[in-house]
Amino acid sequence: MKRILPLVGFVSLAFALTACGGKGGEVDADIAQSVAATQTKMAWEESVESARQTEEASAGTSSESQTTPEVVHVMLPEGPGEAFNSYVTDFNSIDYADEGITYGDQFLINRYERPFTVEMAEYRGYLDIILANLDAAPPWIYLDVYLAEDLPESAAALYGIELDLDIDGRGDFLVQAPLPTEVDWTVAGVVVREDSNNDVGGDNPQLSDDLPEDQWGDGFDRVVFDSGQGEDPDLAWVRRNPEDPTSIQFAFKS
């Protein structure tokens, strides 16, 4: 359309110029037509050039607006130490996986054991968390997550950590990452979300209560970090544990 609209404008102009020179002699008419034709050609060339420049400028602006800013890292995590500050264990469902059942559900504290596909059809050991170790080494917090089986080369798996900083039973932050493919630290796919209005967990965050839909809240409603984009491009990282094929490691700023 950018090239059609100027053409419509100067075609109308050419008709006007030709009509203005129509009542004189044949020579005057020829001259008028020549002038009109010359002006029309010049107008056409100028319009084409203007349209081309407008199109290039528009494309450049669109490209720039869609370009994601380059992430420049200042600080990379090293790795957790040999000692750790705290840990948590979880039920291992591998013993009863062939039967499609698990004894790991704890309904009263809202913990469900589901390292299976839909309807408990197939067991997925790389989703079955059995242990997590936390190591505080400021400015970093490291978390080693151990699974029941070796991690696959690739899978549509998402791993996460919920952080309750004020110990009120509600998650304040959620750190998530897809299955990492390398043993090097990366921010690719790592997302940190915040519950800015403190509504995670409903009325009783320690219980599996049944709230009406209008009281569900909006969960972790604010994204503070996404693959290096955010106020701190080094906020959170993930990698495969280079020393254990059943483990992935998170690192995030304290």
For the stretch 45-80, pLDDT in tens is 565 566 666 666 555 544 445 677 788 899 999 999
Of the candidates 155, 169, 181, the one whose C-alpha atom is nearest the C-alpha of residue 245 is: 181
Kindly provide the b/e burial profile for residues 24-53, where b requires at least 16 CB atoms within 10 angstroms of the residue's own CB.
Answer: eeeeeeeebeeebeeebeebeeebeeebee
225 near 191, Cβ under 8 Å?
A: yes
On the question of pLDDT at 19 being above 60, the answer is no
3 near 48, Cβ under 8 Å?
A: yes
Least-confidence region, from 18-22, 24-28, 242-246: 18-22
- Percent of the chain with pLDDT strictly greater than 70: 73
What is the distance, to the nearest Å, from the Cα of residue 239 to the centroid of all Cα atoms in its chain? Answer: 18
On the question of pLDDT at 253 being above 50, the answer is yes
Name residue 239's beta-bridge partners: 249
User: pTM value?
Assistant: 0.70
Residue with token string 């696959």: 152
On the question of pLDDT at 241 being above 90, the answer is yes
What is the distance, to the nearest Å, from the Cα of residue 164 to the centroid of all Cα atoms in its chain? Answer: 23
Q: Alpha-carbon Rg of the chain, whole angstroms? A: 33
* Exposure of 152 in the CB half-sphere (CA atoms within 13 A): 11
The pLDDT of residue 25: 47
CA atoms of 88 and 99, how far apart (whole Å): 26
95 near 107, Cβ under 8 Å?
A: no
Q: Angle 18-23-29 (CA atoms, 0-180°, nearest 5)?
A: 55
On the question of pLDDT at 3 being above 60, the answer is no
Name residue 88's beta-bridge partners: 132
On the question of pLDDT at 251 being above 80, the answer is yes
145 near 250, Cβ under 8 Å?
A: yes
* pLDDT tens figures, 197-206: 988 888 788 7
* pLDDT tens figures, 207-226: 777 777 877 888 899 999 99
Helix H or strand E encompassing 23: none
Cβ-proximal residues to 25 (8 Å cutoff; 6+ apart), any chain: none
**Angle, to 10 degrees, between the axis of helix 26-66 and the axis of helix 4-20?**
160
Could you tell me the pLDDT band of residue 35, with boundaries at 50, 70 and 90?
Answer: very low
